[in-house]
Structures are given as C-alpha cells and as structure tokens.
C-alpha cells in the first residue's frame, strides 16, 4: 500500500482550476462515488416501476371493463419487457444498442402481428364502446370489425404490444429522471376512462399502479433519479452540484428496495382495510353521480362519438345544422345518429330538401348569416309559390300534386322542417314530436300564374368588405349569360377548382369566411360553397339566399329506406312524376310509403335563387364529394387505420383462422419491415442535422467564452473522445490533440491556448475579442 | 473520527415538497369529487396515512443511524493514530453511514466542513446519501491536498429526510477526521548547505567549552548556589534582581534551527516547503537537530528534536497542530536571545527577499 502511495506521490500532477476545490488547497481529484455494490437490486426496482405502472394501468382498464384476456401471458410479456428496458441503463453502450433493438422490435412486432394487434385493439374499443353506450344511454355505438375470431387472444397480443410501447416510453421518463407527472398523466388516462364510466379497476391492479406511481414520486422527491452513474448527464449534474458544494450519491439498491417494499406493503394494507370498511361493490352501487359528471356527460358523449375533434370544434352532434354560423368548424364530424324520421311517398329522383334556416344578410368577419325578421318571413318560406301550387292542385291542373310528409324529431333541434313547397310554416317540430307537413312538389313547367318578384333589395345585398373579392372572382371566372348559365358555370368552376372536404380547417380570426374561402383556402364543405355562391350570384344580379336544412337523395332513400304498410293514398295524391321511367329504376313502387331515417350526414347548406317563373328554387352548387374525401374519416379513424392491414380489410370471414392470419401478416410485414429499416437508417442523418442546427443556434446565442468552449468541445468529441476522457484538464487534452496532429502549434501557442481555455471556462466575465480570435485561430489550424 | 451519541432532534419542514404533496393530494380529492371513483378513496387513504408514517419512520430512524469519517490507510502513519501524507498526494476520504434498524430513507444529508486547521481555512459542503435498512453506506471522495498543514473533515450535523421529502430531522453529531500534509521529500543539492552547516559548526566548536552541551529551558531569579556563568547579565541589568538561566543538559552534538514563520499564508507555505528540504538535508544521522518554533499561546519556543527523517515529519506535524498565527512573531530573534542566551549562534530558517534562507545567526 505504501508503495502504491509512493508511486502515486511521485507522479507529477498539474492542478488546474478545472479541479473542484473543497477548500483552499484541497481539491477533488479522483472523483467521488459511492461504495460499489451490485446493481441488480436497483435493476429489479426499476423493472418493477415499469411493470407496476404499465400493468397497473393497462390491466386495470381491462379488469374494470371485464375484458377477457390471457392474464398470464400478458404478465410474463410485461415483466420481460420491463426487465429488458430496465437493463438498458446498466451500461451506456448497451443503452444505445438496446434502444435500437427495442425500436426494431416494436416495428417488427407491429408489422408481424398487425392483424392481432388491430383486432385486439378493436376488441377493446368495442368493449369500452359497449360500456360507454350503456353509460351515456345513447343508441349510437361505435363498433369495429375484428379480424381475429379468438377475442381474448387478440386482446392479449394487443396488450402485450402496448406494454412494449408503454415500457419503452416510460423507461425514458423513469430511469433517467424519475419524471412522475409525464408518466402519471398518460397512464392515469387508462384508469380515468373506466372510473368515469363507473367501472372500477380490480384491487390488485389498483395496488400495482398506485405503488408504482407513488414510488416514482417518492424517488423523485428524494433525488434518486441521479443514480445512473454511468451516464453523461449524471456526471455533468453531480460535478455541477459539487461546484455548488453539494455531493450526491443516491445509488443504493437496498434503500431503494426498502422504500419500494414499504410503499407496496402500505398500499396492500390500506387497500385491504378500505375494502373491509367500505366494500367496493357496495360503494359502486350506492354512490351518486357528481355534478361535474352530470354537466360533462354531453361533452364526453360528444368526445366518445366524435373523438378529440368533438371536444374542440363544438360541432353539434345532433344534426350538423349551424343556423348560419360559419367559420368555427375545423373539421365536420358526423355521428350518423338519426335526427329525423321521415314517412313519405317518394315522388322524384331529384334531391329532396327540408328547409329549416334561411340566411338573408351575410355579416362579414362576424362570419354568419343573419336570421330573418318577421317582415321577410313569408317571402323566405316561399309561401307564395306553395300557394300557387296548391291552387293548381285544387284546380286539378296537370302535373300538380299534393304530398304529406310525416316527420318525427328524434334528435334534431326544434324548428320548422319544411319540404318544398309547403304553407305549413308555423309547424314547429320539437324534440320527440311528430308532425305532418303538407307539400306541393314542383313538377310542372308552369305555375298557374307568375309569382310576384321580390321587392326587397336585401336578396341582392353584398357587404362592402366582400365586394372586391367577389368582383375579382367573377372577373377571373368569366361568369356571364342567363341565370341558368351562370349557375352552371359557377358549379363547374367550383367542381374543378374548389375541392370538397369535410376538414377545411378553421377560418382564422380576423378573416372573413367567404373572402378566405375564395382567395386562400379554396376548399370547404357545403356552407362554404353556399355562402360564397349566394354573394357571387347576387353580384351577378341574381337574387339569392343561403339556406340550411336536410338534403335527402333518392338513391339513399332507395337503399336505406324501409317500406311501411301505411296507406300511400293518405300521403300522396295525384302521382305525377315527370321522368317516371328513371325513377322506377331506383325507387320502390310509387304507391308505397317509405320510412327513412335522416342523420346529420344529411345536413346540408344550399342556395335558393329567384326564378321569375317559379319563385325561389333550390340550387345545388356544392361539388360532388370525391372518393378521397369520403375516405377521410375522423382523426380517430386515421389513427385506427395505422393498425389496419390491407389484407385484413376483407372482414372477419377471410381472416378468421388465426394461423392463416399470422402467416399472412408475417408475409406482408417483410416489406413493411424493410421500409421501417430504411426509415430507421434515415433517422441518423436527420438526427445529425438537428444536432447541428441546435449547435449553431446555441453558438449564436452564446458569449465569447462559451463560443470558444463549444468550438473546443466539438473538436474534442470529433477526434478522440475516448482518449481524452482520461485527460483531466485542458492542458492534458490539448497536449493529446497536438500529439495526435489534430492541432498544430508551437508550445508557447499551446500554453496560451490552454490559458485562454481556462479563462473561458472558469474566470468570471467574458473573453476579450483579441483572446477569442487568437484562440479560435489556433483551434482552426488544419489537421494533418 | 467517530460520531458521538446523537442528541436532541429537531424537525423542519420543506415547504416546497409539502406544496408538491398537497398538489397531489388535492388533485386526488378533486378527482374524487368529480368522478366519485372508489379508486380515489383508496389512493386518498394511502396518501393520508403515508404522511405520518413517513415522518415516524424517519424520526425513529434518527436514533439508529451512526456515521464515521475516515481516510483510507494509504497514508504515512506517524503516531498515536495520526496520519500524514505528502503534499500533492491523493487521499481517499470515506464517509460511512451505518443503520442498525430495518427502517430506511432515501436521503440523508451530511453537513460537513473541509479545511486546513493550520491556516484556519474551512468550507461547508453537503453530502446526500441514502440510508439503507440494516447496513452501511459509504461514500468515497478522492482529494488532493496541495497545501501543507492539517486537513480536517468534520461533520457536526446530520439531516434525515422522510420519503415524501417533507420532514427533515436534524441531528447533532460530532464526527471528525484529520491528517497532516507534509512537504515532499525531494533531494537537495549538498551545495545548498555546507556554508551554513560548517559555519555553525565552527562557531559552536569554538564557543562551547567543556563539552557543556546544554540549552536554556527557563529563566528565573538568582538563588544561592547558582553558577555565575548562568547569570543572565543582560536581563539582570534591566531587572531589580539577578536573573539566571536554567539549563537542561543535552547529550551529544546538537544544532539548533529556528523556524521563523511569517504570518502570511503564501510565505509560510513557501518557507515550510523549502525549509523542510533544507532541514532534511542537514540530517546526517550523527548530528542531532533541534527545531525551535515560537508559540504565542505558551509564550515560549516549542522544541522538537530531530535525529531522523521520521522525527522531522513528527516535528512538522507538531508544528501543524497549532495554527499559523500562533507561530509568527516579529520579535522572534529577541525572544531567542532572551530564552537561549547561552546559544552563541543558531541556524535560522527565514524568508529574506523572496527567498527562503537557512543562515547562521549570532545570538547577541
């Protein structure tokens, strides 16, 4: 021992300011560390964190909804993944390689077990959906097709895969920093959902989850996250702390295990006592719903049916009618729940409209259509045309008919739902009510007499804020000719240049809805086209107005309508369809009464223009929905499609055999895996690029001292990070750099550089410009 | 080196951690009020029980925890369990904490000081260590000492923090560990010494008569029977009565070296480092050296005889035992004349014109 000491004593040392001074003349030299002990205890403690949190949250959710799955398999898989993830922090080199392997495993398993994962995921969603449907007492239920027949196996596979992903993410948060909140928020979601739906997780999972989270919290509060002595962040942080006169060596496997066991034991005991005092089943059946839950149930139902967008765009789930309010809808989400039930005799193959809102005056920047006042009411509801048609019917004029439409309000807003043309403008259909509207369809080429032209200029009114944009648009499109020609030209122009979409995005604040649509966005849904078209037609001198309601296509009625036994004579008189041959191909017998459910998918906005022969007539200017648009579902659907296999879209029958599905999935996954591998390889250059950008950003913000150190560190890392890690100070490092030909300079220059580096690192204040420039010049010497 | 029985405990609160816990606790309550879930009842009870339980654990634990500071035995042993190292050597300081109970906590904090008692420097540090159940936990700190003197690591307070980080139990303790830092034993060129050595030898040889090798250890009033040659004439001239020098006989040949320590730390450091080398060069094995260092506390010279390098180390350790300010005085040569009037000359180690010199001084 003495020899060793003497040997050490004989060694020449240079004590730079880089050493941390404990006091005057006492410097930390060989570092500081805790007594080396086996790290297995700590390894198992960390693995337990992951296992407890992931299993507790995922398993808790499944147990709450009584979803059947292979518990043993899931536990073993979760345990293995947790152990693997915890082992990543045993050494820094293994950490990098292990994460790449893990990432590859996630990708490969995702591709290889795609069918099982997606099927299991759908299975879980279906079970949750059933619980939600029951809780919200709604008739709508989201249901997904499961491709694998073995429900519990698919769910187990899916859960194992989610455990794999969950552990990978949680490991980064826990093992390095013991981040409690970022792990608590996402994991608690899996338990909050069932608790909200009044399904409690089983006690075992609750204990696991609570103990896991609580232990992470405790470890965080006690700074145990600084344990990982092998990592660079640890070394940096402890040396930084040491300079502030604080040393830390929190690594102690036995203390960690002791704390963990204590908390776990406490959770078990408390859980048992609470169960004895207040049995869970008794509580669940006896407790009442909170005011918060009662107030938020509608919103949550909206969320359940429409996904996240249901929370942020506040689009009504019951209908899709917005009564002229424009611009706030980022993306239209449809729940396809029944709003109205119609009973009528089909009389035309054209689109049939039920009018409920008429917008007279457009309010720019407020982005809405004004509601009519009483003076315009009769005009707005086309009472004159309806009266003329009624007179023609009464006078038994050919091509005049009378129909009755019975409308039941299932979930639509209260209002008038008026078929074209009717005088029942005072029949307000409230929720749950059923009313009969008498209407007189426009089947004739000529009314008994011409209706009076509109005497109100409001139907030609264009706000000044829109006039320039509208004028430019009309000039650009070259609209001209008769009313019919202009409408036709405008429809074609929209069809070719303004694609239809249900996700146009929200109109930005302080922007006008129509101007933004015509000049910038150039895509939208019916309300966009109807609003713009009304102003364009008015500009062209055609009286026009904005209308909302429901539109029902004859094809939809033919496909989805149900025949009833009701007497058709009560519902339609003097059948007189002009193109009866065509209509008979798609519609059932004309004499049948059909019941048809109208959903918010039928909600629509259109334009009414004034025709001197017939009065106000509906005009369709919304482009046809393309296939691409139709395929765009909600974000939820888009997310779900990530798990869908193209081969599996054939449905359950084609993929019911699990082994066949697995074989097919693996076959198809090879290409996917290759693509993932290529993407993985692309990650490296992208990462380098990002690091370089960050470096330049920091360099631009640093002072001269920090700039010099950044440049120096870059050279050090680039060339000999391994050898230089043994060098204790700038002097030794710089000597190594010179020795290896990275820097070329004389001894005097080297000493000067070392001095400047020491000054930059440790002296208060900033380097002078001259010193900085000189040091940079030295560092920029070309290498051999 | 060991802690004494820890006594009165004080409890302090960490308001930051308390706020964090309350945030969690209130969050759970709010969730319960909002969702009425059974899960939140269980969690709420756990959190409620955890606070007092966690406090009780740490309060009780404070009675079972003992600590020690010691240094790895990679040092030069001097005597009486005192250790020394050479300047710029590495030493390993070990902080050890021992817990006899099954209780544990993740954070124990040592408030320790590190400093040099000779120069009177000291800095306060914190060391965070977990306390494992029934076992010990050690923390190794490798340090290099670059200044001479007596390095002291001491801990006077120990803080145990509960699992939630809210309660901190402060316990007084008395742990200390020290070692001496000696100059390096570098070789010295013989050309640096002959003049001084031969000069003092000639003077001593001519002036010591009858092989009366003795030294003055005290001055007292004259009593009948005292030898006239022992009368301190110079002192007696200023006193109303005769003063005599009390002598202690010395065996064999002995050289007296006065170390005139300056009060400034840098100068003293230089003088001690270089002086050590020079004095070390004087030790031949045949000639005894006697080091004299002034001590303000006893108002006398501390005397250390050195016949070997080991004794020289011991002497330096003895010098470092008292702080520097106690060793320096402007009147040191005056005191030398007063205390050692029989000495006609001696070697004086002093700093002159920024250089450390060992020169012969005539004691007149």
pLDDT band at A126; cut points 50, 70, 90:
confident
Asked if residue A587 has pLDDT above 60, the reply is no
When pLDDT is averaged across residues A487-500 and rounded to a whole number, the result is: 90
Yes or no, beta carbons of A252 and B130 under 8 Å apart? yes
Model pLDDT, residue A159: 92
Instruction: Dump pLDDT digits (tens) for A651-665.
Output: 333 333 444 444 444
Cβ A385 vs Cβ A418: under 8 Å: no
pLDDT band at A214; cut points 50, 70, 90:
very high
Interface test with B, best of A26, A37, A280 (most B CBs within 10 A): A26
Quick check: B132 contacting A, CB < 8 Å?
Answer: yes
CB pairs under 8 A, 24+ apart, for B72-77?
B72/B140, B73/A1, B74/A1, B74/A2, B74/A4, B74/A5, B75/A5, B75/B179, B76/A2, B76/A5, B76/B182, B76/B313
Asked if residue B194 has pLDDT above 60, the reply is no
Model pLDDT, residue A75: 93
Residue with tokens 């190292």: B85
Instruction: Dump pLDDT digits (tens) for B94-141.
Output: 888 899 899 999 888 889 999 999 998 888 888 888 898 988 888 888
pLDDT band at B169; cut points 50, 70, 90:
very high
Please state the pTM of the whole predicted model: 0.60
Cβ B248 vs Cβ B339: under 8 Å: no
CA-wise closest residue to A247 among B139, B153, B155, B127: B127
The answer for A317, left when phi > 0, alpha when psi is -120 to 50, beta otherwise, is alpha
User: Of chain B residues 196-225, which have a CB less than 8 A from chain A?
Assistant: none
Asked if residue A226 has pLDDT above 60, the reply is no
Say which range, A106-120, A437-451, B1-15, B194-208, has the weakest mean pLDDT: B194-208
pLDDT band at A10; cut points 50, 70, 90:
very low
Yes or no, beta carbons of B89 and A29 under 8 Å apart? no
Cβ B217 vs Cβ B247: under 8 Å: yes
Highest average pLDDT, of A360-374, A415-429, B51-65, comes from B51-65
Model pLDDT, residue A30: 64
Judging contacts by C-beta atoms under 8 Å, the chain B residues touching residue A5 are 74-76, 85, 89
Model pLDDT, residue A714: 81
CA-wise closest residue to A549 among A380, A310, A348: A380
Quick check: B330 contacting A, CB < 8 Å?
Answer: no
Judging contacts by C-beta atoms under 8 Å, the chain B residues touching residue A205 are none
Residues β-bridged to residue B157: B111, B172
CB pairs under 8 A between A and B: 219
Quick check: B60 contacting A, CB < 8 Å?
Answer: no
Judging contacts by C-beta atoms under 8 Å, the chain B residues touching residue A17 are none
Quick check: A590 contacting B, CB < 8 Å?
Answer: no
User: Which one has a higher pLDDT value, B48 or A648?
Assistant: B48
Interface test with A, best of B141, B161, B323 (most A CBs within 10 A): B141
pLDDT band at A35; cut points 50, 70, 90:
low
CA–CA separation, A118 and A147 (whole Å): 8
Say which range, A503-517, B110-124, B146-160, B192-206, has the weakest mean pLDDT: B192-206
Asked if residue A242 has pLDDT above 80, the reply is no
**Torsions phi, psi of A394, nearest 5?**
-65, -30
CA–CA separation, A64 and A200 (whole Å): 5
Say which range, A135-144, A477-486, A649-658, B82-91, has the weakest mean pLDDT: A649-658
Judging contacts by C-beta atoms under 8 Å, the chain B residues touching residue A267 are 46
How do strand B300-306 and strand B288-295 relate by DSSP bridges? antiparallel
Say which range, A136-150, A151-165, A464-478, B41-55, has the weakest mean pLDDT: A136-150
Interface test with B, best of A10, A255, A300, A728 (most B CBs within 10 A): A255
CA–CA separation, A472 and A490 (whole Å): 14
- How far is the alpha carbon of A204 from chain B, nearest alpha carbon, in Å? 11
User: Which one has a higher pLDDT value, A82 or A322?
Assistant: A82
- How far is the alpha carbon of A47 from chain B, nearest alpha carbon, in Å? 18
Q: Among all residues of chain B, which has the CA nearest to that of A213?
A: B43
Q: What domains are there in chain B, each with its CATH number?
A: 9-182 (2.60.40.10), 190-213+250-362 (no CATH)
Quick check: A201 contacting B, CB < 8 Å?
Answer: yes
Asked if residue A38 has pLDDT above 70, the reply is no
Model pLDDT, residue A647: 38
pLDDT band at A718; cut points 50, 70, 90:
confident
When pLDDT is averaged across residues B232-260 and rounded to a whole number, the result is: 76
pLDDT band at A263; cut points 50, 70, 90:
very high
Per-position DSSP letters for A477-536, written without gaps between them: HT--SSHHHHHHHHHHHHHHHS-B-S---PPPTTS-HHHHIIIII--B-HHHHHHHHHHH
Over pLDDT 70: what percentage of chain A? 77
pLDDT band at B48; cut points 50, 70, 90:
very high
Total residue length of chain B: 364
CA–CA separation, A579 and A439 (whole Å): 20
Total residue length of chain A: 784
Model pLDDT, residue B87: 85
CA–CA separation, A756 and A758 (whole Å): 5
Cβ A580 vs Cβ A635: under 8 Å: no
Judging contacts by C-beta atoms under 8 Å, the chain A residues touching residue B145 are 25-27
Over pLDDT 90: what percentage of chain A? 20
DSSP symbol at A570? G
Yes or no, beta carbons of A271 and B31 under 8 Å apart? no
Tokens of A23: 């006091």
Model pLDDT, residue B79: 59
Q: At what angle do helices A114-136 and A291-306 cross, to 10 degrees?
A: 140
pLDDT band at A401; cut points 50, 70, 90:
confident
Helix (H, G, I), strand (E, B) or coil at B88: coil
Asked if residue A620 has pLDDT above 50, the reply is yes
Yes or no, beta carbons of A222 and B107 under 8 Å apart? yes
pLDDT band at A96; cut points 50, 70, 90:
confident
When pLDDT is averaged across residues A125-149 and rounded to a whole number, the result is: 79
Residue among A22, A251, A278 whose CB faces B114 most closely:
A22
CA–CA separation, B290 and A608 (whole Å): 122
Model pLDDT, residue B25: 94
Cβ A201 vs Cβ A61: under 8 Å: yes
Mean pLDDT taken over chain A = 78
Vertex A106: Cα angle to A101 and A109 (nearest 5):
115
Tokens of A303: 């969320």
Quick check: B130 contacting A, CB < 8 Å?
Answer: yes
Tokens of B96: 């050890």
CA–CA separation, B257 and B270 (whole Å): 17
Model pLDDT, residue A550: 92
Domain boundaries, chain A: 40-280, 338-631, 660-698, 702-779
Quick check: A280 contacting B, CB < 8 Å?
Answer: yes
pLDDT band at A780; cut points 50, 70, 90:
confident
Tokens of A771: 């010193």
- How far is the alpha carbon of B140 from chain A, nearest alpha carbon, in Å? 5
Model pLDDT, residue B80: 62
Helix (H, G, I), strand (E, B) or coil at A256: helix
Asked if residue B192 has pLDDT above 80, the reply is no
Q: Among all residues of chain B, which has the CA nearest to that of A282?
A: B38
CA–CA separation, A408 and A436 (whole Å): 9
Yes or no, beta carbons of B115 and A5 under 8 Å apart? no
Yes or no, beta carbons of A290 and B138 under 8 Å apart? no
Tokens of A628: 């691409």
CA–CA separation, A782 and A450 (whole Å): 94
Q: Among all residues of chain A, which has the CA nearest to that of B146?
A: A25
Instruction: Dump pLDDT digits (tens) for B320-334.
Output: 988 888 888 778 888
Residue among A245, A252, A284 whose CB faces B137 most closely:
A252
CA–CA separation, B134 and B99 (whole Å): 5
Asked if residue B205 has pLDDT above 60, the reply is no
Asked if residue A235 has pLDDT above 60, the reply is no
User: Which one has a higher pLDDT value, A8 or B218?
Assistant: B218
Quick check: B52 contacting A, CB < 8 Å?
Answer: no
Model pLDDT, residue A178: 78
Model pLDDT, residue B161: 92
When pLDDT is averaged across residues B169-188 and rounded to a whole number, the result is: 84
Highest average pLDDT, of A40-44, A137-141, A515-519, A761-765, comes from A515-519
Q: Which residues, including other chains, have CB under 8 Å from residue A301's CB and lie 6 or more apart?
A: A136, A138, A317
Mean pLDDT taken over chain B = 81
Quick check: B129 contacting A, CB < 8 Å?
Answer: yes
Quick check: A265 contacting B, CB < 8 Å?
Answer: no
Asked if residue A78 has pLDDT above 80, the reply is yes
Write the CA distances from B213 to A95, A489, A679, B173, B250, integer angstroms: 76, 133, 94, 51, 5
Model pLDDT, residue A682: 77
Write the CA distances from A191 to A134, A310, A435, integer angstroms: 18, 21, 46
CA–CA separation, A272 and A267 (whole Å): 8
User: Which one has a higher pLDDT value, A123 or A231?
Assistant: A123
Asked if residue A396 has pLDDT above 90, the reply is no
Q: b/e per residue, A185-213, with b = 16+ CB within 10 A? A: eebbebbbbbbbbbbbbebebbbbbbbbb
Model pLDDT, residue A236: 58
**Torsions phi, psi of B297, nearest 5?**
-65, -45
């Amino acid at each position: 021992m003495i020899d060793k000491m003497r040997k050490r004593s004989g060694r020449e040392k240079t004590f730079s300011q880089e050493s941390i001074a404990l006091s005057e003349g006492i410097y930390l030299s060989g570092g500081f560390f805790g007594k080396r002990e086996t790290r297995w205890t700590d390894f198992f403690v960390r693995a337990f964190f992951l296992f407890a949190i992931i299993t507790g949250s995922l398993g808790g959710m499944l147990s709450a909804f009584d979803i059947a799955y292979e518990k043993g398999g899931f536990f073993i898989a979760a345990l293995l993944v947790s152990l693997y993830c915890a082992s990543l922090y045993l050494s820094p080199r293994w950490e990098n390689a292990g994460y790449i392997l893990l990432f590859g495993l996630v990708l490969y398993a995702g591709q290889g077990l795609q069918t099982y994962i997606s099927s299991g995921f759908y299975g879980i969603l279906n079970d949750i959906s059933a619980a939600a449907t029951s809780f919200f007492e709604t008739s709508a239920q989201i249901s997904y097709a499961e491709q694998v027949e073995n429900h519990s196996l698919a769910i187990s596979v899916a859960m194992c895969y989610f455990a794999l992903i969950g552990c990978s993410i949680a490991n980064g948060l826990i093992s390095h920093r013991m981040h409690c909140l970022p792990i608590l928020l996402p994991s608690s979601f899996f338990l909050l959902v069932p608790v909200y739906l009044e399904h409690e997780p089983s006690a075992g999972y609750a204990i696991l989850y609570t103990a896991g989270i609580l232990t992470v919290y405790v470890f965080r509060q006690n700074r145990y996250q600084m344990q990982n002595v092998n990592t660079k962040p640890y070394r940096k942080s402890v040396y930084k702390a040491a300079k502030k006169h604080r040393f830390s060596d929190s690594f102690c496997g036995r203390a960690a295990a002791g704390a963990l066991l204590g908390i776990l034991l406490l959770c078990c005991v408390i859980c048992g006592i609470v169960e004895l005092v207040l049995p869970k089943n008794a509580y669940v059946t006896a407790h009442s719903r909170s005011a918060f839950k009662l107030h938020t149930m509608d919103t949550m139902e909206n969320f359940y049916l429409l996904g996240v967008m249901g929370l942020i765009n506040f689009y009504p789930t019951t209908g899709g009618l917005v009564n002229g309010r424009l611009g706030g809808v980022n993306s239209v989400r449809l729940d396809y729940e029944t709003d109205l039930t119609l009973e009528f005799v089909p009389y035309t193959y054209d689109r049939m409209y039920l009018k409920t809102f008429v917008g007279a005056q457009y309010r720019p920047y407020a982005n809405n259509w004004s509601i009519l006042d009483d003076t315009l009411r009769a005009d707005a509801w086309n009472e004159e045309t309806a009266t003329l048609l009624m007179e023609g019917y009464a006078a038994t004029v050919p091509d005049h008919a009378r129909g009755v439409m019975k409308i039941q309000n299932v979930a639509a807003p209260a209002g008038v739902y008026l078929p074209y043309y009717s005088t029942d403008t005072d029949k307000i259909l409230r929720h749950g009510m059923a009313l009969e509207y008498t209407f007189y369809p426009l089947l004739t080429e000529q009314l008994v007499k011409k209706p009076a032209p509109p005497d109100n200029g409001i139907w030609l009114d264009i706000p000044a804020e829109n006039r320039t944009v509208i004028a430019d648009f009309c000039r650009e499109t070259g609209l001209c000719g008769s009313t019919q020609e202009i409408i036709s030209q405008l429809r074609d122009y929209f069809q070719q240049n303004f694609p239809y979409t249900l996700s146009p995005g929200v109109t930005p604040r302080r922007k006008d809805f129509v101007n933004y649509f015509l000049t910038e966005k150039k895509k939208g849904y019916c309300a966009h086209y109807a609003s713009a078209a009304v102003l364009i037609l008015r500009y062209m001198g055609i009286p026009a107005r904005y209308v909302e309601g429901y539109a029902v296509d004859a094809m939809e009625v033919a496909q989805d309508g149900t025949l009833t036994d009701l007497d058709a004579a009560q519902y339609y008189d003097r059948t007189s369809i002009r193109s009866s041959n065509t209509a008979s191909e798609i519609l059932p017998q004309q004499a049948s009464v059909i019941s048809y459910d109208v959903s918010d998918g039928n909600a629509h906005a259109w334009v009414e223009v004034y025709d001197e022969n017939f009065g106000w007539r509906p005009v369709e200017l919304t482009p046809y929905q393309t296939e691409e648009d139709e395929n765009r579902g909600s974000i939820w659907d888009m997310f779900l499609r990530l798990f869908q296999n193209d081969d599996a879209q054939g449905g359950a029958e084609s993929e019911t055999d699990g082994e066949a599905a697995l074989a097919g999935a693996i076959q198809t996954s090879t290409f996917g895996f290759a693509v993932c591998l290529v993407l993985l390889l692309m990650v490296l250059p992208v990462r380098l690029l990002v690091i370089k950008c960050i470096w330049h950003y920091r360099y631009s913000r640093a002072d001269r001292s920090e700039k010099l150190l950044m440049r120096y560190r870059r050279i050090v890392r680039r060339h000999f990070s391994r050898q230089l890690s043994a060098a204790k100070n700038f002097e030794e490092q710089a000597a190594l750099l010179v020795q290896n030909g990275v820097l070329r300079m004389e001894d005097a220059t080297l000493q000067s550089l070392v001095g400047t580096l020491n000054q930059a690192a440790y002296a208060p204040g900033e380097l002078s410009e001259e010193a900085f420039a000189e040091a940079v010049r030295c560092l920029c010497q070309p290498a051999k | 080196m060991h802690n004494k029985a820890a006594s009165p405990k004080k409890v302090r609160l960490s308001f930051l951690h308390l706020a964090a816990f309350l945030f969690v606790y209130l969050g759970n309550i709010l969730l319960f009020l909002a969702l009425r879930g059974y899960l939140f009842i269980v969690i709420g009870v756990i959190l409620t029980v955890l606070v007092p339980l966690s406090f009780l654990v740490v309060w009780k634990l404070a009675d079972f925890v003992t600590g020690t500071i010691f240094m790895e035995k990679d040092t030069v042993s001097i005597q009486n369990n005192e250790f020394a190292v050479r300047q710029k050597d590495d030493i390993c300081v070990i902080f050890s904490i021992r817990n006899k109970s099954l209780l544990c906590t993740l954070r124990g904090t040592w408030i320790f000081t590190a400093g040099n008692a000779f120069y009177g420097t000291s800095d306060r540090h914190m060391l965070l260590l977990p306390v494992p159940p029934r076992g010990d936990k050690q923390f190794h700190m490798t340090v290099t000492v670059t200044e001479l003197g007596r390095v002291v690591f001491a801990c006077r307070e120990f803080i145990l923090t509960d699992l939630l980080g809210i309660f901190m139990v402060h316990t007084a303790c008395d742990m200390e560990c020290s070692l001496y830092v000696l100059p390096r034993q570098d070789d010295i060129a013989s050309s640096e010494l002959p003049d001084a050595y031969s000069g003092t030898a000639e003077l001593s040889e001519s002036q010591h008569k009858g092989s009366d090798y003795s030294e003055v250890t005290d001055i007292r009033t004259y009593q009948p029977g005292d030898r006239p040659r022992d009368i301190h004439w110079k002192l007696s001239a200023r006193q109303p009565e005769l003063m005599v020098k009390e002598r202690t006989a010395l065996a064999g040949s002995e050289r007296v070296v006065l170390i005139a320590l300056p009060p400034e730390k840098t100068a003293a450091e230089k003088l001690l480092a270089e002086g050590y080398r020079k004095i070390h060069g004087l030790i031949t094995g045949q000639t005894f050296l006697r080091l004299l260092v002034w001590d303000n506390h006893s108002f006398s010279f501390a005397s250390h005889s050195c016949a070997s390098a080991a004794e020289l180390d011991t002497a330096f350790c003895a010098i470092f035992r008292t702080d520097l300010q106690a060793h320096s005085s402007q009147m040191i040569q005056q005191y030398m004349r007063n205390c050692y009037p029989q000495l006609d000359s001696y070697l004086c180690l002093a700093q002159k014109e920024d250089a450390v010199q060992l020169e012969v001084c005539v004691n007149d």
